Amino acid sequence: MPKKRTAILGLITAILLGVAATVDQDKYFEIIKNIEIFTNVYKEVNASYVDGTDPSKLMKTGIDAMLASLDPFTNYFSEAQVEDYRLSTEGKYNGIGAKGKKMGNYVVITEVYKDYPAFKAGLRVGDQILAVNGLDAKDKQAEDLYQIMRGIPKSEVTVTVLRPGSKEKQNIKLVRDEVNIPNVPYSGMVDSEIGYVILTTFTENAGRNVQSAVNKLKNENPGLKGIIFDLRENGGGLLGEAVQVCNTFVPGGNLIVSTRGKEKEYNASYKTITPAVDENIPLVVLINKNSASASEIVSGTMQDLDRAVLIGQLSYGKGLVQNTKETGYNSRVKFTTAKYYIPSGRCIQSVKYENGVRVHLPDSLRSAFKTKNGRTVYDGGGVQPDIEMKETEYPEIVQKLMDGNWIFNYVTGYCLAHSEEHDPKTYKFTDFDDFVNYLKKNSFEDSSALEKKLNLFAEELGRQKRQDFNQEIDRLKNKLDQDQWEGIRVHKELITHVLEEEIVSRTGYESGRLLNRLQYDPLIKKAAEVLKSPAEYNRILAKKG
């Protein structure tokens, strides 16, 4: 037997001996056999495949495919992805504190975090990244640059940018540092009576930060009559932080969540420990289809204990608990170890997935449970809000303005000419005609489905030399062009709101964007109405029938 193969088998055996005590004997041989097969395939492909291979990428592809067969939440993180994993669990990473998006040939800065290296060095939203440490950034994706711009704290990185309104390149030297993205980016008053707190992720200190925000609202606003707690788009995070967040509104001694797994070590119950910040103030929790995991523990627990009214859309449906293990060379694997159950006894895990996407289960296939007041709730498919409201969906033409960076680029130019700061709560954009003229000047085309089909039809007519249709084709094209501009006018109010958000974010950053959005968000308005009507609030939480 060749020495290399002997060494590989020896390594495999050594690894397996470490886990043999925890693996059923009948599986032991199968594991050894299949690891040897996989090792041989991996070695031969890397050695003999006609094109060059990237061993790390090839291995990660194999691992990802293997884990994908289990559930959508069991994942492998390579050494290069560990900073992303740290960001998802701790809300921290080592880097410059900026986000970007590929626009044309280069990545453009789309967000700068206040008081972090990019902000301190003068990097601005709209800056086009031409090079990083002298390396050409043309045709690079944002993810590629993140890997370059993240690194050891206090290490330096030089970014070459082209700033909007300038023809001269600028070299900006940044000193990397730990970037701590706030999980409570904004809290404040919607009006004189209703407070608002948004939690974007359950990273470290989420519970403490929510409690601090609620305390501040109470201390600074003696007329506070209710709180809106926003968990929309919150994909979850640390289970312990979910319990702490619940402790903000639920007193000590209450069971929040229990976990049950195949191994006894993963069976546990979690209760609130300390007195609540406020266990009586009326509360509305906002959720949507992307509120998952820890968000569902909190929203589901508030519902089970009849502590809050839930408004929004059916949540994601992730009732699983993950654990992580080191797998060598600074890589990790995150895998499912248990399911969690909230106070009523239900597990909100969606039992069916297709291509990683949750398939909605009708109530007839879900088991019924009871809340503290005796209201009926269901398991197996997410948390159903008490008041269901459709998610705000952008019309197709508005989405194209956003996806095509038309709004972003217009605002970049607009802010060059209007550099003053704006109050996010009161700012109104009044130059809509100027925005439309910008679109026309830069030949905006919505490329609607009808227009695409008409172009195909015109091409076929050309091939068949049917010039007799040219006049009619031109008439239809002009009509579709008119429809495009009329569509933009029809959605003037919505487009204006999006423009306002983007404009105030340039000087008010993320908190400014959120504060501006509060002024017209329909779910916020509905939540405030419910909180201001004690009779309606109590009716929703009372036992039905």
pLDDT tens-digit profile of 159-181?
999 999 888 999 999 998 888 88
CA distances from 183 to 110, 132, 286, 301 (A): 19, 29, 16, 20
- Domain 186-391: CATH superfamily is 2-enoyl-CoA Hydratase; Chain A, domain 1 (3.90.226.10)
Please provide the CATH number assigned to the domain covering 92-180.
2.30.42.10
Residues 273 and 275: their CA atoms lie apart, in Å, by 7
**Which value, in Å, is the radius of gyration of the alpha carbons in the chain?**
27
pLDDT band at 326 (very low <50, low <70, confident <90, very high): confident
Residues 234 and 199: their CA atoms lie apart, in Å, by 7
Name which residue leads in pLDDT, 283 or 133.
Answer: 283
Q: What is the pTM of this model?
A: 0.77
Q: What is the mean pLDDT of residues 461-475?
A: 73
Q: Which pLDDT score, from 0 to 100, does residue 60 have?
A: 79
Residues with Cβ within 8 Å of residue 154, at least 6 apart in sequence: 175, 176, 177
pLDDT tens-digit profile of 13-46?
555 555 555 555 567 777 777 778 778 877 877 8
* Listed range (218-227, 275-284, 318-327, 406-415) with the worst mean pLDDT: 318-327
Residues with Cβ within 8 Å of residue 338, at least 6 apart in sequence: 259, 260, 261, 266, 267, 320, 321
Residues 360 and 353: their CA atoms lie apart, in Å, by 9
Take residue 537 and report the two structure tokens written for it: 């609030």
Q: Which pLDDT score, from 0 to 100, does residue 390 have?
A: 85
Please, what is the Cα angle at 379 between 374 and 383, to 5 degrees? 85
Q: Which pLDDT score, from 0 to 100, does residue 11 have?
A: 53
For the chain, what is the total number of helices (H) and then of strands (E)? 17, 23
Q: Which pLDDT score, from 0 to 100, does residue 187 have?
A: 95
Q: Which pLDDT score, from 0 to 100, does residue 1 have?
A: 47
The secondary structure of 216-278, three-state, reads: HHHHHCCCCCEEEEECCCCCCECHHHHHHHHCCCCCCCCEEEEEEECCHHHCEEEECCCCCCC
Q: Which pLDDT score, from 0 to 100, does residue 298 have?
A: 97
pLDDT band at 210 (very low <50, low <70, confident <90, very high): very high
pLDDT band at 82 (very low <50, low <70, confident <90, very high): low
Residue 360 has pLDDT above 50, yes or no: yes
The region, left, alpha or beta by phi > 0 then psi within -120 to 50, assigned to residue 278 is beta
pLDDT tens-digit profile of 98-150?
889 999 999 999 999 888 899 999 999 999 999 999 999 999 888 778 767 77
Residue 337 has pLDDT above 50, yes or no: yes
Name which residue leads in pLDDT, 35 or 345.
Answer: 345
The domains of the chain are located at 3-78, 92-180, 186-391, 396-520
